[in-house]
Amino acid sequence: MESKRKCDPELGRKVNDYLIGLGLETPMTGVRKDFDAEEAIAAIKGNMTNIMEALGLDLKDDSLQDTPKRVAQMFVNEIFWGLDYDRFPKCTKIENKMNYKGSFVLERNINVQSYCEHHFIVIDGVASVAYLPDKYVLGLSKLNRIVQFFSKRPQVQERLTEQIRAAIAFVAETEDVAVQIDGAHFCVKSRGIQDLRSTTATFSASGVFSEGSQRQEFLAGCRSLMG
């Protein structure tokens, strides 16, 4: 989880409103407004205990006894903290005084560790993100941090891709954004169809990336990486 120093709750709330306006926000109830991490951990711990007991596991065993608490803390603090807009990354941007406008900025090979919201099982992926600076240039690691924030939720890859694109457009104040994600879904590997090698590719683009040469250049840039 991000340290509070690197977070911008106010920007987070604006991004939240923006995504709601676009119909791209993760479905959440009003409970989230009064979110209390300790309360959530206690509730999840109790329910995880029920799940393990229903499976017939002996929670008195020293190897199992701390699992409900461990899972609850993991959900809230480690793998689903991206539901909490207080944790939205601080996004330093500078004026585009260098007038960088000729070509886009492309950040590739960004790690995506997310969780399928249908099964709560790992999605392991790689993202490429591009934007064409207008008035502002974003610090490069901010692209990675925005990808990470929206990954740390129960997700479907299609929504994840759209949320990242919309958030970068909002933060960088440019319509010209493209996002491509290639993800391996462990719910497809380990259960259901049990296909070990298939991956899912998603792509979202707006502004100059919607069609034409910039779109082709972006997709070629992504392909050159994956080989």
Size of the site for Zn ion (CB under 5 A): 4
Based on the residue annotation, tell me whether 7 is a catalytic residue of this protein: no
Nearest-10 crossing angle of helices 157-172, 140-151? 140
Residue (69 or 189) nearer to Zn ion, CB: 189
Which residue is associated with the tokens 């951990």? Answer: 41
Is 44 a binding residue for Zn ion by CB under 5 A? The answer is no
Does 118 participate in catalysis according to the annotation? yes
Least CB distance to Zn ion at residue 161 (A) = 16
CB crowding 30-66: b at 16 or more within 10 Å, else e: eeeeeeeeeebbeebbeebbeebeeeeeeeeeeeeee
Interaction between residue 93 and Zn ion (CB under 5 A): no
The residue count of the chain comes to 227
Is 222 a catalytic site residue? Answer: no
Q: In the window 7-26, what residues touch Zn ion (CB under 5 A)? A: none
**What Rg value do the Cα atoms of the chain yield, rounded?**
19
Residues 97-136 within binding reach of Zn ion (CB under 5 A): 116, 118-119
Q: Catalytic residue positions?
A: 116-119, 157, 185, 187
Chain residues that interact with Zn ion, rule: CB under 5 A? 116, 118-119, 187
